[in-house]
Structure 1
């Protein structure tokens, strides 16, 4: 049990530390932990919804399953929690703060999901999941937080940026899932370049968000 917990949480801690330490002015750890816990708690309602949809056999279409049964519900709930728990918080006062809190929510979700998966399927999948599902959740969080930061810190296109904070992670997450589901035997040839591109996009957003605000 300890080995599974360690293997499941190690990449979470590493990624959270990386994005936290990128912040020029670090955020309160208590608030980050709060966002993380909210993200972890999302696993239960999302798993219930996804199980109900699968049991009812509403659709066997890979596109619908990838984009709506998985990507939409997961990104919507993370977006919803950020909007109603973190967005109006007084500590959210810098563009990069959006990235820190969104990554915390996303990695909270990924942590419990990852540990449950390893308990069910075995610790031998730990490395593979660290590089793909766990990292992808963090990167979707970066992009979500980037647009939430733009919405909070600028006085124009606020609603549009809030919409993009959901829409872009949803589309990227859907593509990720579709590659896995539709290319079962050769997914790595497509998913590895996709993950490299996703890292490039996310790190570019990190760089922009971390620039000092211009007066």
Structure 2
């Protein structure tokens, strides 16, 4: 493997590893938790390939002609639904949650796995010069969508009846809405987009971290 390829993969993985380390080190966990976190990360990474095939098929059939359909449909709804489904089926159903923060950790891990695999592909196509911009936008936004999804799913873990259903609905609806708005901004605003996307990212960080502080150390 050439030096350039190693540098590219390192640049693609570094922001995800840094973010995941931050969320993991906030609390003390047993060693087996780290194994589950890595497992969620790998599951998220593998999800990239079927998602890309589906999105390519939709593009090829000219089914995504409107910007809002691309933003909220092909990107947000498809990606967040499959992440939600895997988080629910591979983690939520089998891994015990001690607090709501556990949901945040696993949601971030799965989303960062997805973002890392996607980032490697984009950097291979665009070059390593785009690594910094992708670290601040796509990679961090995927992490924050995962944090929000995990917060609501973690909140649902020990709830029952209608309250449980409400949290589960929020765990898919809110990430889709945030992801769709993020993509819609990038698709429709071509001049001075930085003046819109930067405040949105500040809002996204505030929203996700406020959920993190609320969940930290509290039972689900």
- Tell me if TM exceeds 0.5: yes
Q: Residue 182 of structure 1 is aligned with which of 183, 188, 202?
A: 188
- Match of 1:153, SS state, is coil
Q: CA deviation at 1:94?
A: 1.9
Match of 1:93 in 2: 98
TM-score normalised by structure 1 residue count: 0.96
Q: CA–CA distance in 2 between the matches of 1:25 and 1:154?
A: 23
Distance 1:75 1:37, change over 3 A: same
Please tell me whether residue 2 in structure 1 is matched to residue 6 in structure 2: yes
Q: Distance in 2 between matches of 1:89 and 1:194?
A: 35
- 1:9-88 correspondence runs (5 A): 9-25=13-29, 28-88=33-93
Report the equivalent of 1:133. Answer: 138
Deviates more, 1:50-59 or 1:20-29: 20-29
Aligned-residue offset at 1:101: 0.4
RMSD after superposition: 1.4
User: SS of the residue aligned with 1:167?
Assistant: helix
Structure 2 partner of 1:195: 201
Q: 1:128-169 CA distances to partner (integer Å, 9 max, x unpaired)? A: 000000000000011000000110033351111111101000
Which consecutive residues of structure 2, in runs of 5 or more, have no partner in the other structure?
Answer: none
Against the structure 1 CA distance between its residues 56 and 120, is the aligned structure 2 distance closer, same or farther, given a 3 Å change threshold? same
Shift of 1:24: 4.5
Q: Shift of the alpha carbon at 1:23?
A: 2.4
Q: 1:60 to 1:177 in 2, by over 3 A?
A: same
Is the 8 Å Cα contact of residues 72 and 180 (structure 2) preserved in structure 1?
A: yes
Unaligned segments of structure 1, at least 5 residues: none
1: CA distance, partners of 2:210 / 2:130: 29
Is the CA contact (8 Å cut-off) linking 1:93 and 1:153 kept in structure 2? no
Q: 1: distance between equivalents of 2:183 and 2:141? A: 11
How many residue pairs get matched? 214
Q: Is the 8 A contact 2:99 2:217 kept in 1?
A: no
Contact 1:150–1:161 (CA under 8 A) maintained in structure 2: yes
1:212 is matched with 218
Q: Which residue of 1 aligns with 2:156?
A: 151
Distance in 2, matches of 1:194 and 1:167, equals: 18
